[in-house]
Structure 1
Amino acid sequence: MIRTESRARSAALGAGLAVTEAARAAADRAVPYGAAIPRRAEDVTPRWLADAVGVDPRSITSVRVIEHDSGTAARARLGVTSDGELPATLFCKLPPRNYLQHVLMNVFRLGSKEVAAYRALGEEPPVRVPRCHAAQEDPLRRRAVLILEDLAPTATFRTCVDTVTVTEARAVVDALADLHAAYWNTHRFTGDLAPLARRPAAEVRLGDLIRRRFLGGITGHTADLVPAEVKRQCRIFYERSSAIDAFWAGEPQTLIHGDPHPGNLFFEADSPGFLDWQIACAGPGVRDVAYFLTASVDPAMLRVVERDLVDGYVRRLDDRGIHLDPGRLWTLYRAAVTEWFLAAVCTAEAGDRMQPLDVSRVGVERAVAAVTAHDSFELLASLVDGG
């Protein structure tokens, strides 16, 4: 009875957040004027852009949209005519055009988190990211905007169906170690990084509801890829979410990207960089490593090289004065591969609203291969129980 009442309270809390943010997004669309931040790329004027990036308004004579699309955020390449203060092209991120995606962004503070992440990374980030010319948000409307370096002329990009090479994987793991070392147990999580360290209770509860909805009965187009036992085991994500969160919170915390799959990477020659910091947060660095490798490397190849890659992460941190037990980190890695399973299966269960079906199918195949090889859900349950 107590458990039922607790579940009902959690459902009410999460539903309340969803209703509030749905109303906020609807109002923002109905009354677009009077906002400090544009809602569409077409609304980026020379005067607004100049103010946002801190240059003389007279230095920019025109701004035009070269191309745009929209998913969890709206994205556009902008052509800029100026007196040399700015590059000829810039990349802009704004609230999504789709209403439901807009609500999702508001609910989970995706725009606010990405603004906070770029501000935290600063002028000399420890890893390669697009140069950030402006990062702004409107807390009342929950609008956020980023004006970034346009990487199209210099970088190559991947998709979630691609697999990286072992050399590329090692370079990304090294870069993740550099990122994590820079923020390892930083005091800033109680200061300017607090928005990335705290999750409001309503947000947590709504996340539980979404997990229950998608994992309680895996019936989507990738259901045939998930063994019955794994379908049962993965329910731990909503049945024991608080205990899982508490376990990971007990590990050393750093700034993690949170979503380092191939579609959020770019390469310049052999050097990797990271895009889309919408779910950056405080967490154990090994979660980034496990998520990236599981999502990005062909499973057969990964089983051969992953222990060496994880040990390389330990060595890279050791070189930066952070000393970890390799055996313990390997155990945590094996449990943390469940993070990509959660992301991949929930994405697949949402159908083609989040990713094309062929893309999400590859993600689930890689996720199932990993959790099966490492018996990850049983291990996670053991760790949460103090094992």
Structure 2
Amino acid sequence: MTMTATQFMNGPVEHAGPVPATLVEALNPYWLAPVLAHVSGGKGIASVETLEVIRTVATKVRFAVRFEGEQATHQFCIKGLLDVDEGTARGGPTCVLEADFYNRLAPVLDLRVPPCVATVVDRKGQQAVTVMRDLIAQGASFCSALDPFTADDALASLTQLARLHARADLLADWIAPRAAQLARMTYVTPEVLQDLLDGPRGEGILPEVRNAARLVSAMRALAERDAARPQFLLHGDAHAGNLYRTLEGMGLIDWQLLQRGGWALDVAYHLNAVLPVDVAEAEERWLLGEYLGVMRGHGCTMPDPEEAWAQYREAVVYGYYLWAITRRVDPPIIETFVGRLGRAVMRHDSFALLGV
């Protein structure tokens, strides 16, 4: 196998070469050996042991490697679109985006993220896999998507998001405004979206908020307003399932929706995804104030409390729309997030604020 390698800013090694399409290919010692050559000192791989396979949209595999001439094993996690159908494989550009995050941004961010050792990127074919150290082997625990956060938990995760948001100086052309892309997308038509909202995910949400045409109009209005506001570096998908805990604090994973946009897109989505509805209602304004204070401590210019509150109330639409169109995730997760975020849209009268 022929690969060329590049290293950005003392970060992981990026390999330009064939990207495996199956789990068997990804754990083949002959494929792995050059990917991990800078870790092994150029040694071959004597054995590969699969420890855990987690299949969501992308596949994450924890595995242990023993290099030739060594007794000890090294534990890693590889993430990519492995053993997926053709429709899911079209999401390859998001894997390239995640690889670019680890290659170009993670090494210079004051942010708790998994230690990435290598990426393999096929830019022409728009596919990539990312190889990280195994956080579980290092004592970390991953949150479940449906873990109910307390207000203190949310404050800890908001503090991590603020460290990301404060680095708008790192924005580059390859980091796109995802809200605008979502507003323009056509692969989920209003008719399909209405069918989804009329199903179990829409239970308990008022008919006017379950209205697909109105939701699409609200997303477009939000994207237009957001584009005119100061742009920040955003995670884009910071629900509890994309967080982990260590003795030092919380960390962030899953950078496939890395984007630029207004700070409120991340904050409103995050709080209303991780907090049960009653906790969000009671604590969100206090948490927003704490977040604004942290951002000002990072030297960022932020809006006054009333303007920030208005932007937050509008931005709830982003997370609601994101989960309303989601199909390739377990139904209980979709239904919980659509329920939490839909109720936030109801509580904040977000559609009316956006003029739809």
**When the two structures are superposed, what TM-score results if normalisation uses the length of structure 1?**
0.78
Structure 2 match to 1:228: 207
Name the aligned partner's letter for residue 131 of structure 2. Answer: I
- For residue 151 of structure 1, the aligned residue among 130, 135, 145 is 135
2:142 aligned with 1:176, yes or no? no
Whether contact under 8 Å (2:158, 2:291) holds in the other structure is: yes
**Relative to structure 1, is the Cα distance of residues 36 and 355 closer, same or farther in structure 2, using a 3 angstrom cutoff?**
closer
Q: Aligned equivalents of 1:273 and 1:101: distance in 2?
A: 30
Partners of 1:235 and 1:86 lie apart in 2 by 58
**8 Å CA contact retained: 1:254, 1:285:** yes
Q: Match of 1:164?
A: 149
Q: Is the 8 A contact 2:76 2:131 kept in 1?
A: yes
Question: Whose helix fraction is larger, Structure 1's or Structure 2's?
Answer: 1
Counterparts of residues 370-381 of structure 1 (less than 5 Å): 370-381=344-355
Structure 1 distance, partners of 2:55, 2:299, is: 42
Distance in 2 (CA, whole Å) between partners of 1:243 and 1:369 is: 19
TM-score normalised to structure 2 length: 0.84
Alignment deviations for residues 300-348 of structure 1 (CA, whole Å, 9 cap, x no partner): 111111111111111111111112122211111111111221122223x
Contact residue 127 and residue 178 of structure 1 kept, 8 A: yes
Q: 1:87 to 1:336 in 2, by over 3 A?
A: farther
Q: CA deviation at 1:242?
A: 4.7
2:47 alignment partner AA: S
Asked if 1:38 is matched to 2:20, the reply is: yes
Query: Which residue type is aligned with residue 203 of structure 2?
Result: D
Instruction: Tell me, yes or no, if the aligned pair for 2:20 and 2:82 is still in contact at 8 Å.
Output: no
SS at match of 1:172: helix
1:89 corresponds in structure 2 to 75
**Structure 2, unaligned stretches of length 5 or more?**
1-15
Which aligned pairs between 1:265-304 and structure 2 lie closer than 5 A?
A: 265-269=243-247, 271-304=249-282
Do the aligned partners of residues 282 and 239 (structure 1) sit closer, same or farther apart at CA in structure 2, a change above 3 Å counting?
same
Deviation of 1:240 after TM superposition, in Å, equals 6.2
1:105-144 to structure 2, matched below 5 A, reads 105-106=91-92, 109-144=93-128
Alignment RMSD: 2.7
Change (3 A) 1:239 1:369: closer
- Contact 2:57–2:88, Cα closer than 8 Å, also in 1: yes
The 2-side partners of 1:85 and 1:318 are apart by 50
Q: Is the CA contact (8 Å cut-off) linking 1:114 and 1:278 kept in structure 2? A: yes
Q: Does 1:52 align with 2:35?
A: yes
The 3-state SS of whatever aligns with 1:69 is: strand
For 1:363, give the aligned amino acid.
Answer: F
Partner SS for 1:225: coil
Name 1:77's counterpart in structure 2: 62
Relative to structure 1, the CA distance from residue 136 to residue 252 in structure 2 (aligned partners, 3 Å threshold; closer, same or farther) is farther
| Distance in 2 between residues matched to 1:230 and 1:238, nearest whole Å | 11
Contact 1:128 1:273 in 2 (8 A): yes
CA distance in 1, matches of 2:295, 2:71: 39
- Give, in whole Å, the separation in 2 of the partners of 1:86 and 1:125: 31
Structure-to-structure mapping, 1:322-333, within 5 angstroms: 322-324=300-302, 325-333=304-312
Higher mean Cα deviation, 56-65 or 323-332? 56-65
In structure 2, distance between residues paired with 1:270 and 1:236: 43
User: Quick check: 2:235–2:257 contact (8 Å CA) kept in 1?
Assistant: yes
1:195-221 deviation digits (Å, cap 9, x = unpaired): 22267x9x6687234152443442222
Q: Distance in 1 between matches of 2:72 and 2:268?
A: 38
Cα shift at 1:360: 2.0
Indicate conservation of the 8 Å contact 1:112/1:137, yes or no: yes
- Give the whole-Å Cα distance in 1 for the aligned partners of 2:217 and 2:317: 15
1:214 and 1:127, CA in 2 relative to 1: closer, same or farther beyond 3 A?
Answer: farther
Distance 1:293 1:86, change over 3 A: farther
Alpha-carbon offset, residue 120 of structure 1: 3.0
Q: CA shift at 1:57, angstroms?
A: 2.6
Structure 1 residues 47 and 287: alpha-carbon distance in aligned structure 2, compared to 1, 3 A threshold: same
Task: Tell me the distance in 1 between the aligned counterparts of 2:251 and 2:340.
Answer: 22
Question: What is the rounded CA distance, in whole Å, between the counterparts of 1:262 and 1:165 in structure 2?
Answer: 11
What is the match of residue 219 of structure 1? 198
Percent identity for Structure 1 against Structure 2: 27
Give the SS at the match of 1:318.
Answer: helix
CA contact (8 A) 1:344 1:360 kept: yes
Deviation at 1:237, TM superposition (A): 4.2
Report SS of the residue matched to 2:200: coil
Amino acid at match of 1:52: V
